[in-house]
């Protein structure tokens, strides 16, 4: 497939692909029906890409009637245009090299001219998941409604277990996530690779005033022989969490001071303990394959209140995943193209999720 080493662009072949006249309408319909950002760039939906690209392929009701000699560019997709579309879609340094590889595979499999029966394969090559990851896209397996599970996959070559661990701790993600009011960790006594993580989630804006806080205490472990698993965490029981809040109240006080929380310590701790039951269960993990560069963040959470939309959960967890992977987009306001599966359904559409709210 395109993500596994397709043929490079050959200097001896034309740096463009011609869409045959009887295939032009079919290609336009296929690209338009996909709602995938790279397809929208190829199609020429410049407004959807915030003006970052000009058209690559632009069909017209009169396309089958065009004469090649009169309208030589109407059904061409040039290498330059493909590079521009990938860069406009993914906005990553590696995106144009991926465009070269895709162009080479299109040439190798489909030739210099693409007919009507080859359009579906054209789109398959263009939107291959490996291509998407290589160019800087993200894959999200969303099973929030059916079980509270979410998995976020991205490609980040060159990471190490140590570099990931250094971003997992200190547990201070409240600094970059508006829905986190307070986070901190303390070492588990007698377990050098384990930590208790204290989290208070309070939805941003009006929702936070309505539903209040969602606190949890989890046990984070860095396994020494866990294969690709760098870290995993599980929620401690509510009675144990209440005991730990009391045991580590001085740490809670210091965390409140860092977060700018001026509520009375005893009052805040009592609310923390009282509201623990609003989070019924939570567990997750971070894994990394150094051979492929694939980074996966997974979390499952069940709470007493259903958020208004999956994006309420996906957006902040996407930002956490990017932070743990050392991806600079965690701190940026740029939107990222994401493959999305809905509750074990097929990955048919891409959605843009902005990891930064403000």
Q: How far is the C-alpha of 113 from the C-alpha of 115, rounded, in Å?
A: 7
Residue 213: its pLDDT value, please? 76
Q: Is the pLDDT of residue 139 over 60?
A: yes
pLDDT(162) > 60: yes
Q: What is the mean pLDDT of residues 292-317?
A: 77
Predicted confidence at residue 177, as pLDDT, reads: 78
Q: Report whether pLDDT(309) > 70.
A: no
Indicate whether 32 pLDDT > 90. Answer: no
Q: Contact 53/84 with Cβ under 8 angstroms?
A: yes
Q: Mind listing the pLDDT tens digit for each residue in 34-47?
A: 767 788 778 765 54
**What are the pLDDT digits (tens) for 168-218?**
999 998 887 778 899 999 999 999 999 999 999 886 654 444 456 789 999
For the cut 80, the answer to whether the pLDDT of residue 95 exceeds it is: yes
pLDDT tens per residue across span 199-211: 998 866 544 444 5
Whether 66 has a pLDDT exceeding 60, the answer reads no
Residue 345: per-residue pLDDT: 42
Q: If pLDDT is split at 50, 70 and 90, which confidence band does 290 have?
A: very high
State both tokens at 19. 């869409």
Q: Which residue has the higher pLDDT, 338 or 35?
A: 338
Instruction: Tell me the mean pLDDT in the region 343-352.
Output: 42
Confidence check: pLDDT of 72 > 60: no
Task: Decide: 166 and 245 in contact? Cβ < 8 Å.
Answer: no
């Amino acid at each position: 497939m395109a993500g596994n080493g397709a043929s490079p662009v050959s200097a001896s072949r034309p740096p463009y692909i011609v869409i045959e006249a009887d295939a032009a309408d079919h290609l336009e319909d296929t690209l338009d029906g996909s709602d995938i950002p790279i397809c929208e760039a190829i199609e020429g939906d410049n407004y959807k890409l915030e003006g970052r690209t000009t058209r690559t392929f632009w069909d017209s009701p009169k396309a089958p009637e065009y004469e090649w000699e009169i309208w030589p560019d109407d059904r061409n997709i040039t290498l330059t245009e493909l590079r521009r579309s990938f860069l406009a879609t993914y906005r990553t340094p590696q995106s144009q090299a991926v465009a070269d590889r895709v162009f080479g595979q299109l040439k190798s499999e489909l030739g210099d001219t693409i007919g009507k029966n080859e359009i579906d394969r054209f789109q398959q090559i263009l939107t291959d998941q490996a291509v998407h990851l290589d160019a800087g896209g993200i894959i999200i397996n969303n099973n929030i409604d059916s079980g509270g599970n979410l998995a976020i996959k991205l490609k980040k070559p060159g990471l190490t277990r140590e570099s990931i661990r250094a971003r997992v701790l200190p547990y201070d993600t409240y600094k970059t996530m508006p829905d986190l009011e307070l986070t901190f960790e303390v070492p588990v006594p007698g377990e050098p690779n384990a930590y208790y993580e204290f989290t208070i989630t309070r939805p941003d804006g009006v929702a936070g005033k309505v539903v209040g806080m969602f606190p949890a205490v989890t046990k984070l472990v860095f396994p020494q022989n866990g294969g690709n698993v760098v870290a995993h965490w599980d929620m401690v029981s509510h009675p144990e969490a209440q005991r730990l809040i009391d045991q580590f109240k001085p740490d809670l006080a210091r965390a409140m001071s860092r977060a700018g929380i001026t509520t009375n310590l005893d009052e805040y701790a009592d609310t923390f303990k009282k509201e623990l039951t609003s989070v019924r269960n939570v567990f997750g993990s971070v894994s990394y394959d150094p051979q492929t560069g694939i980074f996966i963040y997974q979390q499952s959470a069940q709470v007493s209140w259903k958020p208004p939309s999956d994006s309420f959960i996906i957006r902040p967890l996407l930002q956490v995943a990017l932070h743990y992977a050392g991806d600079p987009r965690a701190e940026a306001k740029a939107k990222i193209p994401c493959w999305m599966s809905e509750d074990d359904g097929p990955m048919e559409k891409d959605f843009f999720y902005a990891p930064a709210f403000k």
